[in-house]
Amino acid sequence: MDEFKVRQGELFCEEIPVLALVKKYGTPLYVYSRATLLSHFHKIQTAFAPLSPLICYSVKANSNLSILKELAAQGAGMDIVSGGELVRVQTAGVPAARVVYAGVGKTRPEIAEALRAGILMFNVESEPELQRINHVAGQMKKVARVALRINPDVDAKTHQYITTGTKENKFGLSIPMALGLFREARKMKHVSAVGVHMHIGSQITSVTPYLQALKRLSVLVDELRAAGHALEYLNMGGGMGIIYDEEQPQTADAFARAVVPLIRPLGLKLILEPGRFIVGNAGVLLTSVQYVKRGHVKSFVIVDAGMNDLIRPSLYHAHHQIFPVKKSRSGRLQLCDVVGPICESGDFLGKDRHLPPLAEGDVLAVRSTGAYGMAMASNYNSRLRAAEVLVSGSKAAVIRRRETMADVLATELGAAKAKK
């Protein structure tokens, strides 16, 4: 679970009342609990200990350098999907030998940078990408280690935007295509195909689709070995779901108990790529009420965080618990939408919520926003991106200062100067 607890009617992050953080740093504010972050990493590590996997934290979930450093210090590797994420993991001091690189659109410069850095392997998503990696590695007189990402065509029963392992999705290769591409890879001088990779989606609350996918991958591994391919790695991707509302995801232990018996007989080194499971419940977004607007059917609680700070409700219809961080007013619960200030009807943090009476200045917590929260934030409506604070016990550190308008305008003013 997590280290955000209500004590005597007030929300604490570890040992700090979150209102003290709001007073010091303002809102919107992302607050993370270090103890929660690390305990979730350790849950996976412990559950899968019998296979000593390399746990490559999925940087896209929350790419703040301090979060990356905390996890790297625990021995985590990193799963990256862009040249930018490569720079982040390098800046955070993550050894390149613990970095894997997925994504359908890797550019030539991105491939070259990753080869120069000496990453563990690329997770290859298509035939032209494999050819490109072979070509770039050849120019650099290197051999690139690759795993082929298999699309096992299983439905992870999650939101359509975060399912990735069916044949309708752009990711990975079908099993017949992968067989052909492994054959091709053997003829290429500058790639070494060392593994198979899958990632079937995100916020998956049942182990069943993983078991279906792993069974298909096991058959493929047998076929590849019979054809003489020397495989070393099986990368099972990420996707393990968390509790936002009333979900009942399997625990890390139950998950491992179910999948380990399928993986162990393959004799391959296991890689995992969890993102949300590690960081999702380690963060909350704090936001201040600006206005309460009475409508005909319900009220609108207008807050200072919007879809630019947290896009998950708008993009995925994701549910996040929302509640006042301190019970200050009594009265009947009221039906309301919690909305942001952005000029879009899709700008909401929660719809049809029952909240106690609220007024200007009250602070709300939007729970379980550590993953795909700040990482997906934007400057839409020229809004400044929030600050981030990491709490450890009774200490709090700003791990990203609040953006200023000067930060936002810098690239545009710089561009104007460069033109002169």
Smallest gap from Cβ 298 to ligand PLP, in A, equals 32
**Residue ranges in 353-382 that form contacts with ligand PLP under rule CB under 6 A:** 371
Nearer to ligand PLP, 33 or 299 (CB): 33
The site string for ligand PLP over 85-114 (x = CB under 6 A, - otherwise) reads -----------------x------------
Q: How far is Cα 362 from Cα 287, in angstroms, rounded to an integer?
A: 8
Q: How far is Cα 311 from Cα 182, in angstroms, rounded to an integer?
A: 39
Give the SS3 label for residue 29: strand
Q: HEC states along 306-372?
A: CCCCCCHHHHHCCCCCEEECECCCCCCCEEEEEECCCCCCCCEEEEEEEECCCCCCCEEEECCCCCC
Dig out the tokens for 173 from the structure: 């290769």
Amino acid at residue number 401: R
DSSP state at residue 396: E
Among residues 34, 43, 276, 353, which is the contact residue for ligand PLP, using CB under 6 A? 276
Smallest gap from Cβ 358 to ligand PLP, in A, equals 32
Residues 174 and 219 sit within 8 Å (Cβ to Cβ): no
- Non-local (6+) Cβ contacts of 304 within 8 A are 27, 28, 287, 288, 290, 340, 341
Nearer to ligand PLP, 60 or 320 (CB): 60
Q: Does 77 bind ligand PLP (CB under 6 A)?
A: no
Q: What is the largest CA-CA distance in the chain?
A: 73
Q: Does 58 bind ligand PLP (CB under 6 A)?
A: yes
Active site amino acids:
343
Smallest gap from Cβ 273 to ligand PLP, in A, equals 4
Nearest CA among 157, 154, 88 for reference residue 117:
88
Nearer to ligand PLP, 271 or 396 (CB): 271
Smallest gap from Cβ 58 to ligand PLP, in A, equals 3
Smallest gap from Cβ 77 to ligand PLP, in A, equals 12
**Residue ranges in 177-236 that form contacts with ligand PLP under rule CB under 6 A:** 199, 202
Give the SS3 label for residue 27: coil
Nearer to ligand PLP, 33 or 82 (CB): 82
Q: Does 273 bind ligand PLP (CB under 6 A)?
A: yes
Q: How many residues bind ligand PLP (CB under 6 A)?
A: 17
- Residue 121: phi, psi to the nearest 5? -170, 160
Among residues 53, 249, 275, 306, which is the contact residue for ligand PLP, using CB under 6 A? 275
Nearer to ligand PLP, 44 or 322 (CB): 44
Q: How far is CA 199 from CA 120, 288, 350, 415, in A?
A: 18, 37, 29, 39
**Residue ranges in 227-266 that form contacts with ligand PLP under rule CB under 6 A:** 237-240
Identify which range of 35-43, 56-64, 184-192, 395-403 contacts ligand PLP by CB under 6 A: 56-64
Give the SS3 label for residue 207: coil
Q: How far is Cα 136 from Cα 190, in angstroms, rounded to an integer?
A: 9
Nearer to ligand PLP, 185 or 252 (CB): 252
The site string for ligand PLP over 277-316 (x = CB under 6 A, - otherwise) reads x---------------------------------------
Residues 274 and 238 sit within 8 Å (Cβ to Cβ): yes
The site for ligand PLP (CB under 6 A) is made up of 58, 60-61, 79, 102, 199, 202, 237-240, 273-277, 371
